[in-house]
Amino acid sequence: MKIMQINVKAPAKINLTLDVLRKRKDGYHDVEMIMTTIDLADRIQLNSLEEDRIIVDVTKGYVPCNDKNLAYQAAKLLKDRLGIKKGVSIFIDKQIPVSAGLAGGSTDAAAVLRGLNQMWNLHLSVEELAEIGLQIGSDVPFCVHGGTAIATGRGENLEFLPAPPPCWVILVKPPRGVSTKDVYERIKIDKLNHPDTPGMIRAIQDQNFPAICNSLQNVMEDVTFQLYPDVHMIKNRMIQFGADGTVMSGSGPTVFSLTQNESRAYRLYNGLKGFMEQVYVVRLLGSEN
C-alpha cells in the first residue's frame, strides 16, 4: 500500500458578536453570533496507515493524544459512520492556544474531516461533513466551512456573509483557560445587554470598518470578567493602546483588537508583549475554506 500524505490548514475563529438568547430544554443555550476566520492556524498532517487504527501526535504536550482529542473523534466518527477499515496517523502542529475561545479543537476536527474526505475519496459534500462534525461540537460545522457567518441554534445553523474588509487582528491569551460551562451557568439572560447583530451584518455587507469596530460585542464578557478580572484588565489595556475595536472571543479568555493600520497593530503587539506571553498579530481571513 502506497502511503498517502495530506496537509490541511485549520484556522482559528473569532466572534465579532456573541449573543445568548434563551436556555433550551436540552440544557444548551440558543445563541446568535457572527464568526469569522483568522490566519492563526494549526497545521494538520494526515498519513495513511495500513493497519486499521488512529494515531494522534501533537506538538504541545498538554493536548491529549487519545480519544479526548477532537481530531481523533472526527476520524473515528467518519470511520464508524462509513464503515472504513483504513487507518490514519494525525500530526497536529499546534499554534492556536488551547481553551481560548478560538475553536482550536473544533477547527482541528474540521480539518481532519476535510482531509480524510480527500484521502479516502469519500466525495462527501461540505454540508455532509458539517452535519457529521456537529456530533463532535457546535463550532465544528462553522470550522468545516470557514469564512464569515451568522450562527444560530447551538451554533450549527449557518448563514454566510461576505468577508469583512482586510485588517490586522491582535490577540492576547492570558495564561489560564476559561470553563465555557461555568460562564454559561452564570449568565442571567434577562439582564443581558444584547449586541446589535443586524448593525454588524450591515457593517460587514457595506464593508464599513469603523462600524464593524463599533458593533463588536460579546454578552459573555461580564461573567468572564467577574470570574477572571485579569481578562478585563487586558481588554482595558488594549483599548488604552489605541485599538480601533476590542472584544473578547467566545467565552474567553482571549481578547482581540482590530485595526487596518499595520504600524498600530505592531505597536499594540509590542506594548502587550511586555506583560503577556501569548500575543499574536495575524490577518483576518473571512472567506470560506
Residues annotated catalytic, as ranges:
13, 139
Cα angle vertex 273, ends 272, 277, to 5°? 115
Find out whether 148 and 204 touch, Cβ atoms under 8 Å: yes
Find out whether 285 and 36 touch, Cβ atoms under 8 Å: yes
DSSP assignments along 163-176, one per residue: PPPP-EEEEEE-SS
Find out whether 178 and 249 touch, Cβ atoms under 8 Å: no
Find out whether 18 and 7 touch, Cβ atoms under 8 Å: no
Please count the CA atoms within 13 angstroms of the CA of 173 that sit on its side-chain side. Answer: 21
Task: Report the amino acid identity of residue 238.
Answer: M
Radius of gyration of the chain (CA): 19
| C-alpha closest to that of 172 among 72, 38, 280 | 280
Q: How far apart are CA 141 and CA 107, in angstroms?
A: 9
Q: How far apart are CA 44 and CA 271, in angstroms?
A: 32
| C-alpha closest to that of 14 among 129, 136, 151, 114 | 151
User: Residue 103 contacts by C-beta under 8 Å, 6 or more apart in sequence?
Assistant: 12, 13, 96, 139, 142, 143, 250
Find out whether 38 and 152 touch, Cβ atoms under 8 Å: no
Cα angle vertex 29, ends 23, 30, to 5°? 100
